[in-house]
Amino acid sequence: MKEFDYIIVGAGLYGATFAYMAKKAGKRCLVIDKRQHLGGNLYCENIEGINVHKYGAHIFHTSNKKVWDFVNSIVEFNRYTNSPIANYNGKLYNLPFNMNTFHQMWGVNTPNEALAKIEEQKSAINSKMEAEGISKPRNLEEQALLLVGKDIYEKLIKGYTEKQWGRKCTDLPSFIIKRLPVRLVFDNNYFNDKYQGIPIGGYNKLIDGLLENIETSIGTDFFENRSHWESIASKIIFTGKIDEYYDYCFGELEYRTVRFEEQTLNTSNYQGNAVVNYTDSKTPYTRIIEHKHFEMFGEDIDKCPKTVISKEYSTEWKDGMEPYYPVNDEKNTMLYSKYKSLADKENNIIFGGRLAEYKYYDMAPIIEKIIKIFK
Protein backbone atom coordinates (compact mmCIF):
# COMPACT_ATOMS: atom_id res chain seq x y z
CA MET A 1 0.00 0.00 0.00
CA LYS A 2 1.24 3.48 -0.91
CA GLU A 3 1.73 6.06 1.83
CA PHE A 4 -0.85 8.42 0.27
CA ASP A 5 -3.83 8.00 -1.99
CA TYR A 6 -3.12 11.43 -3.52
CA ILE A 7 -0.13 13.72 -3.82
CA ILE A 8 -1.66 17.06 -4.76
CA VAL A 9 0.78 19.35 -6.54
CA GLY A 10 -0.30 22.93 -5.92
CA ALA A 11 -2.10 24.40 -2.90
CA GLY A 12 -4.33 26.78 -4.84
CA LEU A 13 -8.12 26.56 -4.97
CA TYR A 14 -8.18 23.43 -7.14
CA GLY A 15 -5.66 21.54 -5.01
CA ALA A 16 -7.16 22.65 -1.69
CA THR A 17 -10.73 21.82 -2.72
CA PHE A 18 -9.68 18.45 -4.12
CA ALA A 19 -7.85 17.64 -0.89
CA TYR A 20 -10.89 18.62 1.17
CA MET A 21 -13.23 16.39 -0.86
CA ALA A 22 -10.72 13.52 -0.90
CA LYS A 23 -10.27 13.64 2.88
CA LYS A 24 -14.03 13.68 3.29
CA ALA A 25 -14.11 10.51 1.16
CA GLY A 26 -11.60 8.87 3.50
CA LYS A 27 -8.52 9.32 1.30
CA ARG A 28 -5.01 10.10 2.54
CA CYS A 29 -3.62 13.28 0.96
CA LEU A 30 -0.43 15.30 0.92
CA VAL A 31 -0.53 18.77 -0.60
CA ILE A 32 2.78 20.27 -1.76
CA ASP A 33 3.52 23.70 -3.18
CA LYS A 34 6.77 25.30 -4.30
CA ARG A 35 5.74 28.70 -2.90
CA GLN A 36 6.33 29.61 0.73
CA HIS A 37 2.61 29.85 1.44
CA LEU A 38 -0.64 27.98 0.83
CA GLY A 39 -3.46 29.30 -1.31
CA GLY A 40 -1.81 29.81 -4.68
CA ASN A 41 -3.02 33.04 -6.28
CA LEU A 42 -5.71 33.45 -3.63
CA TYR A 43 -3.11 34.17 -0.96
CA CYS A 44 -3.65 37.35 1.08
CA GLU A 45 -1.19 39.25 3.26
CA ASN A 46 -2.50 41.33 6.14
CA ILE A 47 -1.02 44.84 5.93
CA GLU A 48 -2.22 47.59 8.29
CA GLY A 49 -5.26 45.45 9.11
CA ILE A 50 -6.16 45.08 5.43
CA ASN A 51 -6.23 41.73 3.60
CA VAL A 52 -4.19 42.43 0.47
CA HIS A 53 -4.80 40.16 -2.53
CA LYS A 54 -1.14 39.54 -3.38
CA TYR A 55 -1.79 38.03 -6.82
CA GLY A 56 -4.58 40.28 -8.01
CA ALA A 57 -8.21 40.82 -7.07
CA HIS A 58 -10.34 37.69 -6.58
CA ILE A 59 -14.10 38.09 -6.34
CA PHE A 60 -16.17 34.98 -5.80
CA HIS A 61 -19.42 34.79 -7.77
CA THR A 62 -21.80 32.01 -8.73
CA SER A 63 -25.45 31.19 -9.38
CA ASN A 64 -24.95 27.65 -8.11
CA LYS A 65 -26.46 27.51 -4.62
CA LYS A 66 -24.65 24.26 -3.78
CA VAL A 67 -21.30 25.90 -4.54
CA TRP A 68 -22.24 29.03 -2.58
CA ASP A 69 -23.39 26.96 0.39
CA PHE A 70 -20.22 24.89 0.18
CA VAL A 71 -17.79 27.82 0.44
CA ASN A 72 -19.90 29.45 3.15
CA SER A 73 -19.75 26.21 5.14
CA ILE A 74 -15.96 26.74 5.25
CA VAL A 75 -16.00 30.50 5.96
CA GLU A 76 -18.74 33.10 5.88
CA PHE A 77 -18.68 35.41 2.83
CA ASN A 78 -19.58 39.10 2.96
CA ARG A 79 -21.88 41.08 0.66
CA TYR A 80 -19.23 42.69 -1.55
CA THR A 81 -20.64 43.58 -4.99
CA ASN A 82 -18.22 44.11 -7.85
CA SER A 83 -18.88 47.50 -9.47
CA PRO A 84 -15.67 48.60 -11.21
CA ILE A 85 -15.02 52.07 -12.57
CA ALA A 86 -13.28 52.94 -15.83
CA ASN A 87 -10.96 55.95 -15.91
CA TYR A 88 -10.38 57.25 -19.45
CA ASN A 89 -8.07 60.28 -19.41
CA GLY A 90 -9.55 61.43 -16.09
CA LYS A 91 -13.18 60.92 -17.10
CA LEU A 92 -14.97 58.23 -15.06
CA TYR A 93 -17.43 55.68 -16.43
CA ASN A 94 -19.37 52.91 -14.72
CA LEU A 95 -18.81 49.30 -15.69
CA PRO A 96 -20.25 47.06 -17.00
CA PHE A 97 -21.79 49.01 -19.90
CA ASN A 98 -25.15 50.14 -18.53
CA MET A 99 -27.40 53.19 -18.47
CA ASN A 100 -25.03 55.00 -16.11
CA THR A 101 -22.23 54.45 -18.65
CA PHE A 102 -24.34 55.65 -21.57
CA HIS A 103 -25.47 58.74 -19.68
CA GLN A 104 -21.82 59.54 -18.87
CA MET A 105 -20.80 58.86 -22.48
CA TRP A 106 -23.56 60.64 -24.42
CA GLY A 107 -25.88 62.35 -21.92
CA VAL A 108 -28.78 60.05 -22.81
CA ASN A 109 -31.43 59.37 -20.17
CA THR A 110 -33.59 56.55 -21.49
CA PRO A 111 -32.91 53.02 -22.76
CA ASN A 112 -34.35 53.89 -26.18
CA GLU A 113 -31.99 56.86 -26.53
CA ALA A 114 -28.99 54.71 -25.55
CA LEU A 115 -29.97 51.87 -27.87
CA ALA A 116 -30.49 54.28 -30.76
CA LYS A 117 -27.00 55.74 -30.23
CA ILE A 118 -25.38 52.29 -30.12
CA GLU A 119 -27.29 51.07 -33.19
CA GLU A 120 -26.37 54.23 -35.10
CA GLN A 121 -22.65 53.61 -34.48
CA LYS A 122 -22.89 49.87 -35.18
CA SER A 123 -24.68 50.56 -38.45
CA ALA A 124 -21.98 53.00 -39.55
CA ILE A 125 -19.26 50.41 -38.87
CA ASN A 126 -21.22 47.68 -40.66
CA SER A 127 -21.73 49.86 -43.74
CA LYS A 128 -18.04 50.75 -43.82
CA MET A 129 -17.02 47.06 -43.65
CA GLU A 130 -19.51 46.09 -46.36
CA ALA A 131 -18.16 48.85 -48.60
CA GLU A 132 -14.67 47.41 -48.11
CA GLY A 133 -15.87 43.89 -48.92
CA ILE A 134 -15.42 42.61 -45.35
CA SER A 135 -18.09 39.98 -44.64
CA LYS A 136 -17.16 39.12 -41.05
CA PRO A 137 -14.87 40.53 -38.33
CA ARG A 138 -11.22 39.73 -39.00
CA ASN A 139 -9.90 40.80 -35.61
CA LEU A 140 -10.91 41.92 -32.13
CA GLU A 141 -11.23 45.57 -33.14
CA GLU A 142 -13.77 44.88 -35.88
CA GLN A 143 -15.67 42.49 -33.63
CA ALA A 144 -15.90 45.03 -30.78
CA LEU A 145 -16.93 47.86 -33.11
CA LEU A 146 -19.77 45.75 -34.48
CA LEU A 147 -20.92 44.91 -30.96
CA VAL A 148 -20.88 48.33 -29.25
CA GLY A 149 -19.82 51.00 -31.75
CA LYS A 150 -16.94 53.45 -31.93
CA ASP A 151 -17.25 55.53 -28.74
CA ILE A 152 -17.41 52.69 -26.23
CA TYR A 153 -14.75 50.73 -28.09
CA GLU A 154 -12.23 53.60 -28.29
CA LYS A 155 -12.72 54.87 -24.74
CA LEU A 156 -13.41 51.74 -22.71
CA ILE A 157 -12.07 48.73 -24.64
CA LYS A 158 -9.19 49.51 -27.00
CA GLY A 159 -6.48 50.86 -24.68
CA TYR A 160 -7.22 48.48 -21.82
CA THR A 161 -7.28 45.42 -24.09
CA GLU A 162 -4.04 46.34 -25.84
CA LYS A 163 -2.28 46.80 -22.50
CA GLN A 164 -3.73 43.54 -21.21
CA TRP A 165 -2.58 41.49 -24.20
CA GLY A 166 0.49 43.47 -25.26
CA ARG A 167 -0.80 43.45 -28.83
CA LYS A 168 -2.83 45.77 -31.05
CA CYS A 169 -6.53 44.96 -31.17
CA THR A 170 -6.16 44.56 -34.92
CA ASP A 171 -3.65 41.75 -34.25
CA LEU A 172 -5.89 39.88 -31.79
CA PRO A 173 -8.39 37.26 -32.97
CA SER A 174 -12.06 38.24 -33.01
CA PHE A 175 -13.15 35.27 -30.90
CA ILE A 176 -11.58 36.81 -27.77
CA ILE A 177 -14.65 39.07 -27.59
CA LYS A 178 -17.62 36.90 -28.52
CA ARG A 179 -20.06 39.22 -26.78
CA LEU A 180 -20.05 42.49 -24.85
CA PRO A 181 -22.99 42.76 -22.48
CA VAL A 182 -25.00 45.95 -22.91
CA ARG A 183 -27.44 46.55 -20.07
CA LEU A 184 -30.19 49.05 -20.61
CA VAL A 185 -30.73 49.53 -16.86
CA PHE A 186 -29.04 51.68 -14.21
CA ASP A 187 -27.19 48.78 -12.59
CA ASN A 188 -23.44 48.78 -11.88
CA ASN A 189 -23.31 45.18 -10.61
CA TYR A 190 -20.65 43.60 -12.84
CA PHE A 191 -21.80 40.00 -12.41
CA ASN A 192 -25.19 38.54 -13.27
CA ASP A 193 -24.71 35.74 -10.74
CA LYS A 194 -27.10 35.42 -7.83
CA TYR A 195 -24.34 35.16 -5.21
CA GLN A 196 -21.08 37.07 -4.84
CA GLY A 197 -18.76 38.15 -2.07
CA ILE A 198 -15.38 37.89 -0.34
CA PRO A 199 -14.52 35.58 2.58
CA ILE A 200 -14.79 37.53 5.84
CA GLY A 201 -11.18 37.69 7.03
CA GLY A 202 -9.74 37.08 3.55
CA TYR A 203 -9.14 34.11 1.28
CA ASN A 204 -6.57 32.56 3.63
CA LYS A 205 -9.55 31.65 5.83
CA LEU A 206 -11.07 29.69 2.96
CA ILE A 207 -7.84 27.85 2.12
CA ASP A 208 -7.05 27.12 5.78
CA GLY A 209 -10.53 25.71 6.22
CA LEU A 210 -10.26 23.50 3.15
CA LEU A 211 -6.86 22.17 4.24
CA GLU A 212 -7.63 21.75 7.93
CA ASN A 213 -6.08 18.52 9.28
CA ILE A 214 -4.55 17.74 5.87
CA GLU A 215 -0.79 17.29 5.60
CA THR A 216 0.90 20.06 3.60
CA SER A 217 4.44 20.94 2.60
CA ILE A 218 5.32 24.44 1.33
CA GLY A 219 8.58 25.42 -0.35
CA THR A 220 8.49 22.01 -1.99
CA ASP A 221 9.12 21.74 -5.74
CA PHE A 222 7.57 18.60 -7.25
CA PHE A 223 10.12 18.50 -10.06
CA GLU A 224 13.14 18.52 -7.75
CA ASN A 225 12.19 15.08 -6.40
CA ARG A 226 9.59 13.90 -8.86
CA SER A 227 10.30 10.16 -8.64
CA HIS A 228 9.92 10.27 -4.84
CA TRP A 229 6.49 11.90 -4.93
CA GLU A 230 5.30 9.55 -7.64
CA SER A 231 6.50 6.53 -5.65
CA ILE A 232 4.59 7.30 -2.43
CA ALA A 233 1.13 7.99 -3.87
CA SER A 234 -1.43 6.02 -5.83
CA LYS A 235 -2.35 9.09 -7.88
CA ILE A 236 -0.96 12.54 -8.63
CA ILE A 237 -3.25 15.57 -8.81
CA PHE A 238 -1.26 18.06 -10.87
CA THR A 239 -2.25 21.74 -11.00
CA GLY A 240 0.98 23.17 -12.43
CA LYS A 241 1.95 23.87 -16.04
CA ILE A 242 1.10 20.90 -18.23
CA ASP A 243 3.97 21.62 -20.63
CA GLU A 244 6.43 21.58 -17.72
CA TYR A 245 5.06 18.22 -16.55
CA TYR A 246 5.96 16.78 -19.95
CA ASP A 247 9.35 18.50 -19.96
CA TYR A 248 8.28 20.87 -22.77
CA CYS A 249 8.55 18.01 -25.26
CA PHE A 250 6.35 19.85 -27.79
CA GLY A 251 7.53 23.36 -26.88
CA GLU A 252 6.51 26.01 -24.34
CA LEU A 253 2.99 27.36 -24.02
CA GLU A 254 2.73 31.15 -23.82
CA TYR A 255 1.19 33.19 -21.01
CA ARG A 256 0.54 36.74 -20.00
CA THR A 257 1.60 37.74 -16.52
CA VAL A 258 1.00 40.65 -14.16
CA ARG A 259 3.43 42.78 -12.18
CA PHE A 260 2.09 44.44 -9.04
CA GLU A 261 3.31 47.76 -7.68
CA GLU A 262 2.02 47.89 -4.12
CA GLN A 263 1.82 51.03 -1.96
CA THR A 264 0.66 51.72 1.60
CA LEU A 265 -0.81 55.22 1.77
CA ASN A 266 -1.52 57.53 4.70
CA THR A 267 -5.15 58.05 3.78
CA SER A 268 -8.25 56.12 4.73
CA ASN A 269 -9.76 56.17 1.23
CA TYR A 270 -7.72 56.58 -1.95
CA GLN A 271 -10.15 56.01 -4.84
CA GLY A 272 -13.51 55.17 -3.25
CA ASN A 273 -13.80 51.84 -5.03
CA ALA A 274 -12.05 48.48 -5.00
CA VAL A 275 -11.37 48.38 -8.75
CA VAL A 276 -10.61 51.24 -11.15
CA ASN A 277 -9.59 50.29 -14.70
CA TYR A 278 -7.40 52.71 -16.66
CA THR A 279 -8.65 52.31 -20.22
CA ASP A 280 -6.46 54.88 -22.00
CA SER A 281 -3.31 53.72 -23.77
CA LYS A 282 -0.94 56.23 -22.12
CA THR A 283 -1.35 55.06 -18.51
CA PRO A 284 1.11 52.14 -18.21
CA TYR A 285 -0.91 50.11 -15.72
CA THR A 286 -4.25 48.46 -16.45
CA ARG A 287 -5.95 49.07 -13.12
CA ILE A 288 -5.59 50.07 -9.48
CA ILE A 289 -6.97 47.85 -6.74
CA GLU A 290 -7.74 49.39 -3.33
CA HIS A 291 -7.95 46.28 -1.19
CA LYS A 292 -9.79 47.57 1.89
CA HIS A 293 -12.99 48.07 -0.14
CA PHE A 294 -13.35 44.30 -0.53
CA GLU A 295 -14.06 43.89 3.18
CA MET A 296 -14.64 47.32 4.71
CA PHE A 297 -17.88 49.21 4.15
CA GLY A 298 -19.41 52.45 5.42
CA GLU A 299 -17.86 53.80 8.62
CA ASP A 300 -15.34 50.94 8.81
CA ILE A 301 -13.41 52.48 5.90
CA ASP A 302 -12.48 55.58 7.90
CA LYS A 303 -11.78 53.59 11.08
CA CYS A 304 -8.75 52.15 9.30
CA PRO A 305 -6.50 55.24 8.84
CA LYS A 306 -4.35 53.77 6.07
CA THR A 307 -5.01 52.05 2.77
CA VAL A 308 -3.14 49.71 0.45
CA ILE A 309 -3.30 49.96 -3.35
CA SER A 310 -1.86 47.77 -6.09
CA LYS A 311 -1.15 49.01 -9.60
CA GLU A 312 -1.28 46.17 -12.13
CA TYR A 313 1.03 46.04 -15.13
CA SER A 314 0.30 43.38 -17.75
CA THR A 315 3.32 41.90 -19.54
CA GLU A 316 4.60 38.92 -21.49
CA TRP A 317 5.49 35.94 -19.35
CA LYS A 318 9.10 34.82 -19.17
CA ASP A 319 10.73 31.96 -17.32
CA GLY A 320 10.87 32.75 -13.60
CA MET A 321 7.70 34.85 -13.68
CA GLU A 322 4.31 33.68 -12.46
CA PRO A 323 2.13 32.57 -15.41
CA TYR A 324 -1.37 34.07 -15.22
CA TYR A 325 -3.40 34.05 -18.41
CA PRO A 326 -3.13 31.51 -21.22
CA VAL A 327 -2.73 33.02 -24.68
CA ASN A 328 -5.61 31.28 -26.41
CA ASP A 329 -4.61 31.93 -30.00
CA GLU A 330 -4.49 29.28 -32.71
CA LYS A 331 -0.80 28.49 -32.20
CA ASN A 332 -1.09 27.87 -28.44
CA THR A 333 -4.40 26.05 -28.73
CA MET A 334 -2.83 23.58 -31.14
CA LEU A 335 0.20 23.15 -28.89
CA TYR A 336 -1.97 22.52 -25.83
CA SER A 337 -3.97 19.90 -27.73
CA LYS A 338 -0.76 17.90 -28.15
CA TYR A 339 -0.11 17.93 -24.41
CA LYS A 340 -3.73 17.10 -23.68
CA SER A 341 -3.49 14.04 -25.92
CA LEU A 342 -0.71 12.78 -23.63
CA ALA A 343 -2.67 13.67 -20.50
CA ASP A 344 -5.74 11.79 -21.71
CA LYS A 345 -3.72 8.57 -21.79
CA GLU A 346 -2.63 8.84 -18.17
CA ASN A 347 -4.24 6.53 -15.61
CA ASN A 348 -2.66 7.77 -12.39
CA ILE A 349 -2.65 11.53 -12.97
CA ILE A 350 -5.43 14.09 -12.88
CA PHE A 351 -4.61 17.46 -14.47
CA GLY A 352 -6.71 20.32 -13.11
CA GLY A 353 -6.82 24.11 -12.93
CA ARG A 354 -5.84 27.01 -15.16
CA LEU A 355 -2.21 25.95 -15.75
CA ALA A 356 -2.78 22.21 -16.11
CA GLU A 357 -5.77 22.73 -18.42
CA TYR A 358 -4.38 25.88 -20.08
CA LYS A 359 -7.69 27.62 -19.48
CA TYR A 360 -8.81 30.72 -17.64
CA TYR A 361 -11.04 29.75 -14.72
CA ASP A 362 -13.27 31.68 -12.40
CA MET A 363 -13.25 30.24 -8.88
CA ALA A 364 -16.78 28.82 -8.68
CA PRO A 365 -16.47 26.54 -11.75
CA ILE A 366 -13.35 24.96 -10.22
CA ILE A 367 -15.25 24.02 -7.07
CA GLU A 368 -18.24 22.87 -9.11
CA LYS A 369 -16.00 20.64 -11.21
CA ILE A 370 -14.35 18.98 -8.20
CA ILE A 371 -17.70 18.39 -6.49
CA LYS A 372 -18.82 16.57 -9.66
CA ILE A 373 -15.64 14.48 -9.71
CA PHE A 374 -16.36 13.15 -6.23
CA LYS A 375 -20.08 12.84 -6.84
Active site members: 179, 183, 256, 287, 312, 360, 362
> By C-alpha distance, which of 300, 101, 58 is closest to 189?
101
| CB 286, CB 164: distance < 8 Å | yes
- Helix-strand-coil split of the chain, %, nearest 5: 40, 20, 40
Integer angstrom CA distances of residue 317 from 242, 296, 320: 16, 33, 8
Residue 175 carries which DSSP code?
A: G
Q: Rounded CA gap, 177 and 246, in Å?
A: 31
- Cα 368 to Cα 14, 69, 116: the distances in Å are 10, 12, 40
Provide the 8-state DSSP code for 1.
-
Beta pairing partners, 46: 51
Given a contact cutoff of 8 angstroms between Cβ atoms, the answer to whether 153 and 124 are in contact is no
The partner residues of 261 in beta bridges, in order of sequence, read 311
What residue type is assigned to position 238 of the chain? F
How many other CB atoms sit within 10 Å of the CB of residue 119? 11
Beta strands in the chain (DSSP E): 4-9, 29-33, 44-47, 50-53, 60-62, 85-88, 91-94, 195-197, 215-218, 233-238, 255-265, 275-278, 287-290, 307-316, 325-326, 349-351
Q: Are 228 and 110 in contact (CB under 8 A)?
A: no
The amino acid that residue 180 corresponds to is L
In Å, how far from its chain's centre is CA 63?
Answer: 17
Least Cα distance to 95 among 157, 147, 150 occurs for 157
